[in-house]
């Protein structure tokens, strides 16, 4: 009876070790794919916000009712907001990733992300 228990625990331990080795590679690939997808989405949102801010800034520069100082101040604050938004968004997404995979989860540039995902733009 004792031999059976020992063989059972050895088999269960071997299965757990083999399972963790096989799934670790797959889990790393899943997190890299999530990283690429999030990078594409964040880049798209960043680009759209930049374009919207460009239209806003151009409209403000065309008006004669706003002093140049005010327009420049608004432009500077908008740029700071966009930088902060991108950083906070990335940190928020990264906080959902387990610590052991956070080094695999990086913000890729658009070309790298689309190459990894094998997507053509």
pLDDT of residue 18: 83
Domain ranges across the chain: 2-117
Whether residue 107 contacts residue 42, with contact meaning beta carbons closer than 8 Å, is answered with yes
Residues 22-25: contacts with CB under 8 Å, at least 24 apart? none
Residue 121 has pLDDT above 70, yes or no: no
Tens of pLDDT, residues 3-29: 888 888 888 888 888 888 788 778 888
Distance of CA 41 to the CA centre of its chain: 8
* Cβ atoms < 10 Å from Cβ of 3: 7
Q: Which pTM value belongs to this model?
A: 0.71
């Amino acid at each position: 009876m004792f031999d059976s228990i020992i063989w059972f625990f050895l088999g269960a331990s071997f299965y757990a070790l083999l399972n963790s080795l096989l799934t670790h590679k797959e889990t790393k690939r899943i997190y890299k794919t999530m990283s690429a997808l999030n990078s594409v989405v964040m880049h798209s949102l960043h680009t759209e916000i930049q374009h919207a801010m460009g239209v806003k800034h151009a409209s403000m520069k065309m008006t004669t009712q706003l002093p140049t100082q005010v327009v420049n101040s608004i432009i500077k604050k908008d740029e700071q907001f966009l930088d902060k938004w991108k950083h906070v968004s990335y940190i928020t997404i990264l906080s959902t990733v387990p610590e052991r995979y956070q080094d695999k989860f990086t913000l890729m540039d658009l070309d790298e992300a689309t190459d990894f995902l094998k997507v053509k733009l």
